[in-house]
Chains A and B, each alone.
Chain A
Amino acid sequence: MSNKLINWFRFASPQAFYPLAGRMIPWFWALAAVFGIAGLYVGFLVAPTDAQQGEGYRIIFLHVPASWMSMFIYLVMAFWAGLGLAFNFRLSGMMATALAPTGALFTFLSLWTGALWGKPMWGTWWVWDARLTSELILLFLYVGFIALQSAIDDPRRADKAGAILALVGVVNIPIIYFSVKWWNTLHQGSSVSLTKSPSMAMTMLLGMLLCALACWMYAIAVALMRVRTIMLERERHTEWVREELGMKAKEQ
């Protein structure tokens, strides 16, 4: 038990996590490619045409995974931020900072593909219904988090300020998720949820889940790459970073 705890905390130090992350990144990239190709193959070549929306519905294979990721990454980011606030781990703040741009990207993708989907199906690019508006607020939260952190020079203070913003913003996540249940919206309800069987044809669902896995792997790979850069930047005065960079220079 105590042995396990020691091992666990070892990776909380940037020095130990840096090489581990470096070894994991190629695997996550490979998995992202495999799931991505499989997902797009199933989505575009196997899944049948939709009865109501024809071929246009196929944007779902990007829209839904992007929306899921936008919410999930925020929760992970807030978790790391909260952990950093409570325990003062150096790594937590770095993880939160590394996740924010990817979360913002997925939120933007979700809104953008949603607009492209809304125009032909609903007849409008945008409406101010609860689902769309709360997702837009999520984008502002991500952008606000990034802006706030970059406005503060001292990384420790930047982490603290960002963590408070990230934690306050968590209330928005259940609002986004349940908005289609709590209020009537133009956006339809969830096709896939934990409480009921999915209201989609099996192959459509399979394609969507594979694409979601691809997005997941991509997000991990990119976040790890970013966190490695942040580690080097923030710890540039330490012995291990000098060694790491010195070693790299010799190798070349």
Chain B
Amino acid sequence: MKTRHKRIALIIGGLAVLGLVVALVLNAFQSNLVFFFSPTQVAAGEAPKGKSFRIGGLVKEGTIKREADGVTLRFVMTDTEQDMIVAYKGILPDLFKEGKGAVAQGKLGEDGVFVATEVLAKHDENYMPPEATKALGDAQQRAAANKAAVEATSKTVKQ
């Protein structure tokens, strides 16, 4: 009976100590565990200088533009407080859109333009039928999808 209690106490105590150690270590490495920096963090100088890093945020509406060479893309990444211009030459994922999340890897140039070598799309955790999101959108598309929407909404309880 006594050894059994001792063993249980040892296991629980061991796990508690281990949990504490891991929590402290993770806390110490906090800045190394982030996948990307926000434009605000970059503006505050938290991002590594002269080295490659990632920035994440929303692609600002109406800012995606092709440059004269036809392959380089310029857009503005924002966290709604700070903006950052990103230049990128390469393939974009399908979900890369204005107003949506994205993560770009690259270096910050002298001129304050972030030159990206890779751009990834970051989508949110919301899953819903198109008619639920487009309900806010233009009426033209809604008219076309009207028939399908009526059918689908009868089966679907929206958020």
Give A residues with C-beta under 8 Å from B: 46, 48-53, 57, 60, 82, 85-87, 120-124, 127-130, 167-168, 170-171, 175, 182-186, 188-191, 197, 199-204
Whole-angstrom distance between the Cβ of A172 and the nearest chain B Cβ: 9
Complex alpha-carbon distance, A200 and B132, angstroms = 11
Most chain A CB within a 10 A radius of its CB, from B95, B118, B133, B134: B95
Q: List 13 A-B contacts (CB under 8 A).
A: A48-B129, A49-B130, A50-B130, A120-B93, A123-B118, A124-B118, A127-B120, A182-B33, A184-B35, A186-B120, A199-B125, A202-B156, A202-B157
Chain A residue, CB-CB nearest to B33: A183
Asked if residues A46 and B155 are in contact (CB atoms below 8 Å), the reply is: yes
Identity of the chain B residue whose Cβ is nearest the Cβ of A172 in the assembled complex: B22
Shortest Cβ gap from A63 to chain B (Å): 12
* Distance, CA A87 to CA B26, complexed state (A): 33
Chain A residues near B122: list those with CB within 8 A: 122, 186, 188
B18 near A171: Cβ-Cβ < 8 Å: yes
Q: In the assembled complex, how far is the CB of residue B158 from the closest CB belonging to chain A, in whole angstroms?
A: 7
Compute how far the CA of A137 lies from the CA of B49 in the bound complex, rounded to whole angstroms.
Answer: 30
Q: How far is the CB of A209 from chain B (nearest CB, A)?
A: 13
Flag whether B159 is at the interface (Cβ < 8 A). Answer: yes
Q: In angstroms, how far is the closest chain A Cβ from the Cβ of B15?
A: 6
Q: Does B119 contact A (CB under 8 A)?
A: yes
Cβ–Cβ contact B128 & A201, under 8 A: yes
Task: Give bound CA distance, A122 to B38, whole Å.
Answer: 18
Name the B residues within 8 Å of A168 (CB-CB). 18
Q: Judging by beta carbons under 8 Å apart, are A200 and B121 in contact? A: no
Q: Which among B8, B15, B93, B156 is the interface contact of A170 at CB below 8 angstroms?
A: B15
Question: Is the pair A199, B127 in contact by a Cβ cutoff of 8 Å?
Answer: yes
Interface of B (DSSP majority class): mixed
Which of A87, A124, A184 is close to B120, meaning CB atoms less than 8 Å apart? Answer: A124
Residues of B with C-beta under 8 A to A183: 30, 33-35
The 8 A CB mask of B84-118 against A (1 = contact, 0 = none) is: 00000001111110001001000000000000001
Interface residue total, chain B, C-beta cutoff 8 A: 48
B125 contacts A189, CB within 8 Å? yes
Taking a contact as CB atoms under 8 Å apart, the answer to whether A52 and B129 are in contact is no
Known: A53-B123, A121-B94, A167-B14. A86 touches B155 (CB 8 A): no
Q: A86-B4, A124-B120 are in contact. Are A199 and B159 (CB under 8 A)?
A: yes
> Which of chain A's residues have a CB closer than 8 A to the CB of B11?
82, 85-86, 167
Which residues of A sit under 8 angstroms from B18, Cβ to Cβ?
168, 171
B48: interface (CB < 8 Å): no
Chain B residues, Cβ within 8 Å of A184 = 34-36, 38, 56
Contact A86 B134 (CB under 8 A): no
Contacts A86-B7, A123-B118 supplied; 10 other A-B pairs, CB < 8 Å? A49-B130, A50-B127, A53-B95, A121-B95, A123-B95, A186-B103, A190-B125, A200-B128, A201-B132, A201-B157
CB-based nearest A residue for B21? A171
B80 in the interface, Cβ–Cβ < 8 Å? Answer: no
B94 cross-chain contacts in A, Cβ below 8 A: 120-121
Q: Is B67 an interface residue (CB 8 A)?
A: no
Q: How far is the CA of A86 from the CA of B13 in the complex (A)?
A: 13
Chain A residues near B96 (CB-CB < 8 A): 123
- Find out whether the CB atom of A122 lies under 8 angstroms from the CB atom of B93: yes
Interchain CB contact under 8 A, A50 and B129: yes
Residues of chain A within 8 A (CB-CB) of B132 are 51, 201
Query: Shortest CB–CB separation between residue B151 and chain A, in angstroms?
Result: 10
Q: How far is the CB of A191 from chain B (nearest CB, A)?
A: 4
A121, B120: Cα distance in complex, Å = 9
A61–B33 Cα distance when bound, in Å, is 29
Instruction: Report the separation of the CA atoms of residues A120 and B91 in the bound assembly, to the nearest whole angstrom.
Output: 12
| B128–A50 CB distance below 8 A | yes
A48-B156, A86-B8, A124-B120 given; A191·B93 CB < 8 A: no
